[in-house]
Chain A
Amino acid sequence: MARVILPQALADRFGGEVQLEIEGGNVRALLAALDARYPGIGQELEGRVAVAIDGEIHNDPLLEPVEEQSEVHFLPRLAGG
């Protein structure tokens, strides 16, 4: 099970848990599992935030692998100069 850390503001709206254990495989599967637990949260996250998997930030991931021991954070998207 991957460890997922949600932004506090989002957690407040969806169940209150900041840290969750979620079955992953890839980002799409993880979002689907999150959405099954908290309906609507997947739509909030998909394509609107960046995802950090084990310290690496992905701006627009979908099929990026999420391992059993992975730590996943959701972050604001970034623009560069």
Chain B
Amino acid sequence: MSDEKKFRWVGTRPIRPDGVDKVTGRAQYGADFALPDMLWGRVLRSPHAHARILSIETGAAAALEGVHAVMTGQDLPDLFAEKAAAAGGHDDSNNLAHNVMARDKALYHGHAVAAVAATSREIAERALELIDVEYEVLPHVLDIHAALAPGAPLVHPDRVAQGIENSGPSNIAKRLQIGHGDPEEGFAEADEIIEREFSTRPVHQGYIEPHACLAQTTQDGRVTLWSSSQGHFMVRDYTAKLLDIDLSLVRVIPAEIGGGFGGKTTVYLEPIAVSLSRKSGRSVKMVMSREEVFRASGPTLGTRIKIKVGVTREGVLTAGEATLHYEGGAFGGSSVGAGCMTIFAPYAFPHVRSTGYDIMVNKPKGAAYRAPGAPMAAFALETVMDELAQRLEIDPVDFRLRNAAKEGTLASFGPRYRRIGCVETLEAVRDHPHYSAPLGPNQGRGVALGFWFNAGLQSSAGVNLNPDGTVTVLSGNPDIGGSRASLAIMTAEELGIEYEHVDVMVADTHAVGYTDVTGGSRVTFATGMAIIEAVRDVMGQLCQRAAAVWEVDAERVSWHEGEARLDGGFEPAPLGLAELAKNAGKTGGPISARAALTARGVGMGFGAHICDVEVDPETGRIDVIRYTAVQDAGRAIHPSYVEGQMQGGAVQGIGWALNEEYVFDDEGRVQNPGFLDYRIPVASDVPMIDTVIVEVPNPAHPYGVRGVGEVPIVPPIPAVVNAVHAATGIRFCDLPLSPARVLARLDEARSPGSA
């Protein structure tokens, strides 16, 4: 069993290959690329949350000296309208195309309506001021209540809800329902039932690097893009699809990426930059300002969740029911499906039902954010679980353990779980010294559990053996969280060579096979599988070369610790990698291999967090004073980067719980489009995030890997909120727990006559 196997590299912490370039500033991010003939592209954005575009006059802008191209939505092909019309208005490609640039209507404040390419950024911005757009301002809807109110203005009057029979046009993009059993029957068996309603506000992923790209086009129709994203194949495919170009003519070269967290799994600038380049005959660079990132790139938007959970007095869950409304922005497409699927997932519910509504509002099109949809759902369930444990006078971790999902449990989203580490994760929390450490005045402790599916999807890899015995690995995934290191470790482990002898390159779309995005916590798992498959192919070739040298059957030769051995022994002297590589030309030619697969056997992930807070009764300020994140990683290939994911996810969740929210005014304008006013936690705001890696190997992966990147953002919100309850006796159901909101509730609790 792989559990007992001794590894040389797996589980160690070597220096990441891209580390020196990143800390010395040599690494090239999206905005770092330049070409000699380069123009600067800038976008004109709607000043209205909802408005019909009556006309756009671009003549004065085009006439400005230094301007080489001006474009509007009319310059982009309208390829998906018929398909959308046939689907009640809903079509992902049509939505993407109309989000990249508005056509007949601007659907949110900041929606792109025109663009300019000029010899400098300043000239391009002056040209934007010369574009005259005539709007007919329309009434808008900015939140779920307004969108669902009778007679509400419709974001898309032609759209009917998917999943609701015979519905007329509305702001509901989609309804879905999942579950099993009969919740009413389950609630009838319950001794305690708690029903609550929760809300969250729009938040941004908060990646530091803004969206940026450089486009070069040629007269024979070729396109080269340098772009920062979570997937250069995604950039290629979306850009080509929106502009109707053959994929083979589009080459996307990946830049390093300064954070994505799901927000860079789509395109905003690339189709515009290519269009401007084609119009001007020059290369075009575009970089969003921070304000544009906030106004026009996808946040995760607001939610409202009603939840009801029943339990016996012995602490056994009998039923769960939830109604989830998620804003999807101007085009729908929220993560409410995942919200419905994850909300009850950590536990064994005999009866469970989740109903989700994807709501269209006049806000930017929502984008994925790390375990999309799950943190809000966990906020609702795990807060109620805490309250139930308190009411039953059961330790909150014991209560969760009594109901925890395990192998064979019928998951709330349908199938039965395979091998999972939910129980082991909770046990690690229960046994951790943090869980029983004493607390001081105004302090409280909360725990919460979180679940995420993780993903497999498609990956390709190339492995080239160099004549000196070193190895070059080609991956199609941008390295966000240290995947070069984890992929190099697995290569070195398989081949039995030095880690330093492996170099992993993030190869462009013309150099490696199709690979899905760096998302879904999939790269070490899925691309790792592709690389292992290619490396094993190389090992087979090496054995064949050794057999040829020894003039024996290849079946008698096997690969051990970096060398080919005959019948597993040392006679004749084994042939090492370097020698075989050096002589490859004489024994059959260069040795290389490729692998491409749709990864199977995804290992689902669980994490549980312990949070201690101190609440200042005078100001309402909450400080997180101690935090421990526990997570089943299956197998930590490079523990430092697993821990980094756990720490980063925890801090993002803490920010979501305590500080972060978009503030929209009544006209739909974001009032805090910058990191000064949109406050994400910085290092001095949080304590050292302690981590415990639990390893319940995924039986379907050669090394037992489960995805780790997304799970850690699921538990923090309820962990913080439960800790605040423990410190104050107040349960908060609406985020964020800003000092003003907390102080108001503290004052209310202290006022004479309060319960």
Contact = CB atoms under 8 A, between A and B. Distances in A.
Interface of A: 5, 7-9, 13, 52, 54-60, 71, 73-81
Interface residues of B, number: 45
A81 B262 contact: yes
Interface in B495-535: 517, 519-522
B417 A55 contact: yes
Interface of B: 163, 165, 176-179, 205, 261-263, 265, 335, 337-338, 340-341, 368-372, 411, 413-418, 453-457, 517, 519-522, 598, 600-602, 700, 709-710
A80 B261 CA distance: 9
29 contacts: A7-B176, A7-B178, A8-B177, A52-B415, A54-B416, A54-B418, A55-B411, A55-B415, A56-B415, A57-B602, A73-B414, A75-B341, A75-B413, A75-B415, A76-B341, A79-B262, A79-B335, A79-B519, A79-B520, A80-B262, A80-B368, A80-B371, A80-B453, A80-B522, A81-B205, A81-B262, A81-B265, A81-B370, A81-B372
B655 to A, nearest CB: 15
Nearest to B408: A55
Contacts of A76: 176, 178, 337-338, 340-341
A64 B335 CA distance: 26
B261 A78 contact: no
Contacts of B263: 81
Nearest to A76: B337
Contacts of A80: 262, 368, 371-372, 453-455, 517, 519-522, 710
B338 A7 contact: no
B261 A57 contact: no
A79 B415 contact: no
A52 B265 contact: no
A35 to B, nearest CB: 20
A67 to B, nearest CB: 14
A73 B341 contact: no
B377 to A, nearest CB: 13
Contacts of B521: 80
B522 A78 contact: no
A57 to B, nearest CB: 7
Contact of B414 (A52, A79, A81): A52
Contact of A73 (B338, B415, B598, B600): B415
A80 B341 CA distance: 13
Contact of A79 (B165, B372, B454, B598): B372
Nearest to B300: A81
B421 to A, nearest CB: 15
A9 B356 CA distance: 12
B453 A79 contact: no
A78 B177 contact: no
Contacts of B369: 81
Which of A5, A13, A80 has most chain B Cβ within 10 Å? A80
Given A8-B177, A79-B368, A80-B262, 16 more contacts: A52-B415, A55-B411, A55-B415, A55-B416, A56-B418, A60-B598, A71-B415, A73-B415, A74-B414, A75-B414, A78-B337, A79-B338, A80-B368, A80-B454, A80-B455, A81-B265
A73 B179 CA distance: 11
Contact of B163 (A9, A52, A56, A79): A9
